Structure 1
Amino acid sequence: MSSITCPYCFARLARERIGFRCAGSSGRGPGCAPRLDERLAAYTGSAASASLPPYFDPPPAVRRLGRGTPRRAACPECGQDTARRVCPECHNPLPGAYCETPGKIVALVGAKNSGKSTYIAVLLHELSHRIGAELGTALVACDDRTIERYKRDFHRPLFGDRRLLPATASAVTTPRDPLVYLLTRTRRRRLRQQDMSLTLVLFDTAGEDLRSRDVTDLHLRYLAAADAIIFLVDPLELKSGGGDPDGEPINIIARVTELLHVGRDLPHGRRLPVPAAVALTKIDALPLDGALQRNRTATAALDLNDREAVHEQVRALLYDWQAGELDRYLSHEYAEYGLFGVSALGGVPREGAVGTGGIRPYRVEDPLLWLLHQFGMLDGVR
């Protein structure tokens, strides 16, 4: 792995460029005192959280030889060893696990009111509990900010207070950190075990941030760096066929696709090698039959027959709703795409709160399981 992508500013970094931050002083021993890190303050928009021991570049020998970054380095000012690795562009900490594993950035995009925040909250909860146990995976937050943000903005209001989550605020007015998790899994291959891991980066993009092609630089870099993408679509918006054209699913998907093409500088007409999962949310509000009426069979593999049946049923729904252009566009632009139906809550909410039946997720894991299969972390069976 010769380079990585910073999960905060999404800059592509040669491994030998990864910097360090002094461990600082514990109060008695040697170590550098905190000082304002202007680059970090510019990223966070606040100087309050950017007073830290100093950043320093990797040792010159590492940069000269180009053999990747060491796990530790001595601070050139105080001489103390440190293992705190840092992005040289934005000066955010790079979790050690992120530097050592094949990071996969999964972009999550949807129009306003498509249920992005609720989907993230429930998906991560399921990965930590039911789905984690089923697949034999472990999901661990890579930094303290991810732990705090998930508890504050997602878990506590939805699972603790049973309140619906508000619409995602625009990153232009409310800067926020991505959620960065290490997902590990032991895969049994014939007579041996293979430990596999990837870093899951979720950055919940607000619908209004993608209403025009004049998106912020951060969103541009985020989408250009994505290894896979999950589009969330409100089926009621598709069925109505009306509303604001800027917020229509086909237009938002087209804008994101354009950014993905620009970020990869692909020849005209070549399909994107980025797997795209398009999920209809809130399907509990629709009369359903066939594959979408059945729960996914619990197994530590992807049921390819079920996957194909759901894909074809959602595809048929799109054409029934006169939205077949969405399927045609995806088949033209993406080498691999999948259609899904999910429900994060599993029931209709009541006056801003979770319904009386509680949170009963339905197939929320399907898009991610398909992506894990695309990444080679999950077998497919028929």
Structure 2
Amino acid sequence: MQTDHATAYASPTRAAHEVIVEQYKTFVGTHCRAFFDTLPTMIMALNCYRQVVFANRAAVEFLGNEEVEDVLGKRPGEALGCINAFVSAGGCGTSRHCRNCGAVQAILAAVEGAVGDGECKLLRREQSYLEGLDLHVNATPLAVGGQQFVIFAVTDISHEMRRRSMERIFFHDVLNLAGGINGLVEVLRLNNTFGESTELTVLHSATQTLVDEIIAQRELLAAESNELKPAYCQYGSRALLEQLLGLYATSPAAQGQTLGLVEPCADCAVETDVRLAQRVLGNMIKNALEAGQPGDTVTLACEDDGDALRFLVRNSAVIPETIQVNIFHRRFSTKADSRGLGTYSMLLLTERYLLGSVGFTSAEREGTTFYLRLPKRLESA
């Protein structure tokens, strides 16, 4: 064993080369090698000193090596070319930079018998230039041939992280631009600069819709990645519907249709994220209006359902049975290939963040009714 180096974090101790070779033979002599080589995920088997004793074909190719023997005895950071792996004489895991490394933390947890999981932001020098990698790592203890090893799985999520970063920048810049235009139009309307202008009213409505659509798309992406932070509060059910009624009754989507509130309307306090609840109900209203014709009526209602409230949106159109079975699927739409997130977002936002449920009924002579059922108190959900 080599123990002649200082460390600022993990142990610098390493197994001798002969021990590494014997441990490698343990994997080669079992079905593990064939199994791991079939996996597209990068897999490394580590000993208790965090040294590679086996790597599958995907890992060897990603590391830029010809054979698995080229990485035996190295630690993951050294094999990956991490610039911090060579800061300390003890190697990967022993410098002060390694204290916040998700890979080292996951491996140490697995050495102790637990499953480790995390993310690792790594800089490596690829020939003459630096390359940044974002990796998701998982470390799991495994006994093979009477010895304890750590199965270290690595997934390159660099493209995903770059996409998410670009999305955040895009939404920030575009929302600022759209919000600025909408604010300017609002100022012109309030100052009555051009008198009573129908065009200015339409422009204001269009820019407000644009801002709302950008926010809706940003929230959907945040919801899918579990990054959305709901803000719960007490709110009146009738007030929630009246706000939606005022918002959509005169919107271009109405197309000459009537939007009304069914009485009696339950007026109870509900503990929810009002913005998300309005987003779900707003999608229901837009879908109902888009399915209708000039002269049709779309109704909103709220019913007291014991420890919950049922919000209802009804129109006279009927959804064909072939469409009903897929209506909540992601990117399923009867309108165009670029549509199909509205009903999916209803289900996602309701079940994951509002702790409620959504559904619908659709039949001849009854029309289509979508419902949103929300608990009055979150602790009862």
Ranked by relative contact order (alpha carbons within 8 Å, sequence separation 6 or more), the top structure is 1
Q: TM-score, normalising length from structure 2?
A: 0.25
Higher helix share: 2
Q: TM-score, normalising length from structure 1?
A: 0.25
Larger Rg: 2
